[in-house]
Amino acid sequence: MTYHIARGGQPIGTFAEEEVRSGLAAGRFQVGDLCWAEGMTDWQPVGSKFAPYAPFAAVPPIHHANPYAAPQAQVLSNLPGLKPASRGTRLGAWLLDCLTGMIGCGVPVSAAFLFMIQSGQPDSKDAPVAAIACFMLAGLVLLGLTIWNIVLLTTRGQTLGKKWLGIRIVTFPDGQKPGFVKGFLLRSFVNGIIAQVVPFYGIIDPCLIFREDNRCVHDLLADTTVIDGQPPGA
């Protein structure tokens, strides 16, 4: 039999019965940790369920236990002291990121085409120097925005849009900074590749924000979530 173990309202993992017994005796698990297994009607303190293996300590009582609630509902609650970002705020941050890219790259590209049209050679390979400079500027802006957002995601768990609206990405469920792998590589780069090869993925991914925990597919892929507030020390 396997047991789901939670501590302080957050999931620790799923462990075999022998692992729980040995972990409790070795101090890996605490008597006040909660456990649940299939067939149990409610979460119970590990110290009560595995009393012969628990070190001597008072087992705290369970308050407000709901015997009809699914086990997941007990451990996938809000992160302690952290408030999940609203769906509207997340959408607003995404729109700001898109708008930033459109303005930053769109303005010089539009200027480049305007120079080409004014020169009377819109299809010519010999584009005016000004048009070439505008295209290069658009490329530099795109590169700069990309690097800037990667740095922000790695160090703060934010894009420009998220920073402006005061929300950030954290790891789930421990609420830590996501770093490069989870903040960018899995959540953006790998997710973008999947979107190119899986039909309708671009629709399915954001639709999962209507889950109870507001986590999209890219959040589940990277073990992240989005919360309100700037990073500590920001």
Q: What are the boundaries of each domain within the chain?
A: 2-75, 87-228
Q: What is the mean pLDDT of residues 117-142?
A: 81
Strand partners of residue 35: 5, 44
The model's pTM is: 0.64
| 23 and 49 Cβ atoms separated by less than 8 Å | no
Residue 157: what pLDDT?
Answer: 95
Q: Which helix (H) or strand (E) holds 43?
A: none
Tens of pLDDT, residue by residue over 97-122, are 999 999 999 999 999 998 888 776 55
Strand partners of residue 4: 14, 36
Q: Which helix (H) or strand (E) holds 167?
A: strand 167-171
The pLDDT > 70 percentage for the chain reads: 83
Q: 123: pLDDT confidence band, cut at 50, 70 and 90?
A: low
Q: 58: pLDDT confidence band, cut at 50, 70 and 90?
A: very low
Torsion sign (Cα): 224, 226, 227, 230:
positive
Q: How long, in residues, is the chain?
A: 234
Look at the block and give the residue holding tokens 């009560």: 48
Distance CA 43, CA 74 (A): 9
Residue 124: what pLDDT?
Answer: 57
Distance CA 150, CA 36 (A): 40
